[in-house]
Amino acid sequence: MPVKPISYKDAGVDIAAQDEALSRSKEAIRASFTPGVLGDVGAFGGLFDVAKMGFGEGTILVSSADGVGTKLDVAKRAGIHDTVGRDLVNHCINDILVQGATPLFFMDYVGTGRLDPTVVSDVIRGCAVACRAAGMALLGGETAEMPGLYSDGDFDLVGFIVGAVKRDDLLDGSRVAAGQVLIGLPSAGLHTNGYSLARAILFDRLDHALGDTPELLGGVTVQDALLAEHKCYAQVAMPLLKAGLITGMAHITGGGLPGNVNRMLSDTDAVIDTTTWAVPGLFQLLVEGGGVERGEAFKAFNMGVGLVIAVEPGDFDQAMQLLTEGGEAPWRIGELVAGQGEVRLEG
C-alpha cells in the first residue's frame, strides 16, 4: 500500500507562514538600522561595526537577555501583541543602561506551536519600533515553530541586547559611596515582573475580566493597567550619564527594590523612605485584593518605582532638573549609608 506523503506543514511547521511574518516585518526592521549595521535583513548573522557608533579602543561591550514573562498571557487574552515587543526591548535597554551602556543592537526570539503571521509580525514590529525609538538596530532574530512543545496559540518571547560603554564611564559599583542621594523614577505599572501573582489575584481570586474598571484603577481597565508599556529610561538618563552625574543605577525588575538596588551596592546600605511616593492604585489593588504582606509586595512588585539613581549630594539639584526637563517626575527616595550592601525600607 502506497505511503501517504506527509509534508513539514502537515507535521505542524509552516515555512511559508514564517516567510510571511518576516516579510511583514522587514520595513519596520530596516527602519531601526543605525550607521553601525552592515548588510540587510536575512543574513545568517547580523554584523555591527562599533567604530561607526563612536566607540573604539577602551570600549566594553555589555550584553543581556530577558523575556516578558507571563505578561504574555495577558497579551494573548487581549489579542494585543505589539506592546509586549516594546516591553521586551525597553526592559533589555534598561538592564544595560544601569551600567552606563549605550544600546547598539537587539535580537529577538519567538517560539510558538503554530505560527500566526499576524501575531508574530505584530510582536516583531513592536520590537522594531522600540529599537528605533531608542536609536538601536534590530539586527536579527529567530522564529521557531515547534508543534507539540507549544500549544496552538501559545508562544514565548525572548530578547538579546548588546551595548557599549567606554571603560572610564562604566558603572560597576565602584563609584557608589555613603552620603550619596537616591532618586526614584516612576514606573508605568508592573512593567514585566510580578504577573504570575498579579494574574492569580486579579483573575482567580477577584474574578476580574479584562474590561473591568476597579475603583482603585481610577477608570482604567484591568487590561490597560496590565498591558501598560514597560518604560525605557535611556533617553532621560543619558544626559546625566554624559554629564558624569550618576554614580550608580538600579533597574527595578524581579525582586523589587530590595532585590535590585542591592545590586549596585558594595560597602554601603540603601535607606529608602517608602513614604516619599504614593503607591499607584494598581499595586494597592493587588496588595489589598491578594492580602499580600508588605515585605512580599516589595519583592514581587516594583510598587511604582522603575529606576533608582545614585548621585552626589552636590549634583542632586542638577540631576533633578535634567530629569524633569526630560519629562520625568523624579523624587528623592532615600540615601546611601555605610553598610554591607543591604536595602532598608523605612516608613
Residue 237 has pLDDT above 50, yes or no: yes
Task: For the chain, give the mean pLDDT.
Answer: 90
pLDDT for position 242: 95
Q: Which of 91, 122, 103, 104 is nearest to 20 (CA)?
A: 122
Closest to 310 measured CA to CA, from 289, 326, 325, 332: 332
pLDDT (tens digit per residue) in 22-55: 677 778 788 888 888 866 765 545 557 888 888 8
Angle at 317 between CA 311 and CA 322, to 5 degrees: 85
Percent of the chain with pLDDT over 90: 72
6 pLDDT more than 50: no
Element housing 130 (H / E): helix 117-133
The answer, yes or no, to whether residue 252 has pLDDT greater than 90, is: yes
Pick from 53-62, 185-194, 288-297, 315-324: least confident: 53-62
pLDDT (tens digit per residue) in 95-137: 999 999 999 999 999 999 988 889 999 999 999 999 999 999 9
> C-alpha grid cell for residue 160?
538579546
Angle between helices 316-325 and 234-242 (to 10 degrees): 140
Looking at residue 206, its pLDDT comes to 95
184 has a pLDDT exceeding 50: yes
pLDDT of residue 37: 80
Residues constituting the chain: 347
| CA gap 71, 193 in Å, rounded | 8
> Distance between CA 84 and CA 67 in Å, rounded?
9
Residue ranges, CATH 3.90.650.10, the chain: 181-346
How far apart (Å, rounded) are the C-alpha atoms in residues 195 and 289? Answer: 15
- DSSP-derived letter for residue 163 is E
Q: Which residue has the cell 536575512?
A: 42
Weakest-pLDDT range from 14-28, 95-109, 232-246: 14-28
For residues 15 and 287, give the distance between their C-alpha atoms in angstroms, rounded to a whole number: 46
- Taking the C-alpha atoms of residue 76 and residue 90, their distance in angstroms, rounded to an integer, is 20
pLDDT value of residue 83: 95
Residue tagged 535607606 (cell numbers): 271
Cell numbers describing residue 184: 526614584
Enumerate the CATH 3.30.1330.10 domain ranges in the chain, comma separated. Answer: 15-169
The CATH classification number of 15-169 equals: 3.30.1330.10
Share of the chain above pLDDT 70, in %: 91
At 63 the pLDDT is 87
Q: What is the pLDDT of residue 114?
A: 87
Grid cell, residue 100, equals: 552606563
C-beta neighbour count of 174 within 10 angstroms: 10
Residue 95 and residue 268: Cα distance in Å, rounded? 21
pLDDT the model gives residue 8:
39
Alpha carbon of residue 268 to chain centroid: 27
Q: In the numeric block, which cell numbers belong to residue 167?
A: 571603560
Has residue 138 got a pLDDT over 60? yes
In this prediction, residue 156 carries a pLDDT of: 93
pLDDT the model gives residue 14: 66
pLDDT for residue 177 is more than 50: yes
Distance CA 260, CA 345 (A): 13
CATH for 181-346, among 1.20.1250.20, 3.30.230.70, 3.90.650.10, 3.20.20.70? Answer: 3.90.650.10
**17 or 154, higher pLDDT:** 154
Residue matched to cell numbers 505599572: 189
Residues 24 and 161: their CA atoms lie apart, in Å, by: 23
> Does the CA dihedral 255-189-270-178 come out positive or negative?
positive
Q: Quick one: pLDDT at residue 251?
A: 96
Please tell me the chain's helix, strand, coil percentages from 3-state DSSP, rounded to the nearest 5. 40, 25, 40
